[in-house]
Amino acid sequence: MGFNEIISVILLGVGLSMDAFAVSVCKGLAVGRVRMKHMLSAGIWFGAFQALMPLLGFFLGTSFHRYIEAFDHWIAFILLALIGANMLKEAFSKEDEPKPADASFGVKTMLLMAVATSIDALAVGVALAMEGDSNIWISIAVIGVITFALSALGVKLGSVFGERYEKKARIAGGVILILIGLKVLLEHIGVL
């Protein structure tokens, strides 16, 4: 894996972790007084699922890759662009009603939030399979570690700064995913 690929995987990890980061900020806001166990809980749950989902998507994608090899770069681009656009749409939505934040870090609550924030990563795993030359094990490790760190940090920031960073995190994540999708497409059509 070359330098450019490592940078792409790091950016992909940051982009994917923005939903988990935003939820973690809300969790920190709801809890108020944050302890290390809150930060570790968010980091482990979100980091593990952000690593697991691309792996599942990768295996799904490789199972039918030979059938769509001629246009796989378009699929990767469309998936990443749609996920990024959805994150931007959520960030700019005009919902002014405050969402009630749940202070629970119980298994049921965290499992549901981890799955909900990592569904996009399943599609990214399919996109990585379409790309063909990516090392999935390095990719999921980087995605998992970045999500762990940003989720743990998000809980702390939520208790300190509140909702100020949620919208900015979603915007950054959406833009990063769209740019990575564009990079995949431009490389495959020979522009880059």
pLDDT of residue 97: 46
**CA-to-CA distance for 26 and 169, rounded, in angstroms?**
12
**Average pLDDT score over the chain:** 83
Residues 161-170 have pLDDT tens digits of 766 666 777 7
Residues 86-140 have pLDDT tens digits of 878 877 886 644 454 567 888 988 998 888 888 888 888 888 887 766 789 999 9
Segment 173-191 mean pLDDT? 81
Residues 48-63 have pLDDT tens digits of 999 999 999 999 888 8
Does residue 32 register a pLDDT over 90?
no
With beta carbons less than 8 A apart as the criterion, state whether 124 and 134 touch: no
Does residue 189 register a pLDDT over 60?
yes
With beta carbons less than 8 A apart as the criterion, state whether 72 and 166 touch: no
Q: What is the 3-state secondary structure (H, E, C) of the chain?
A: CCHHHHHHHHHHHHHHHHHHHHHHHHHHHHHCCCCHHHHHHHHHHHHHHHHHHHHHHHHHHHHHHHHHHHHHHHHHHHHHHHHHHHHHHHHHCCCCCCCCCCCCCCHHHHHHHHHHHHHHHHHHHHHHHHHCCCCHHHHHHHHHHHHHHHHHHHHHHHHHHHHHHHHHHHHHHHHHHHHHHHHHHHHHCCCC
pLDDT of residue 164: 67
**CA-to-CA distance for 135 and 92, rounded, in angstroms?**
34
pLDDT of residue 54: 93
| pTM of the model as a whole | 0.75
pLDDT of residue 162: 61
With beta carbons less than 8 A apart as the criterion, state whether 173 and 17 touch: yes
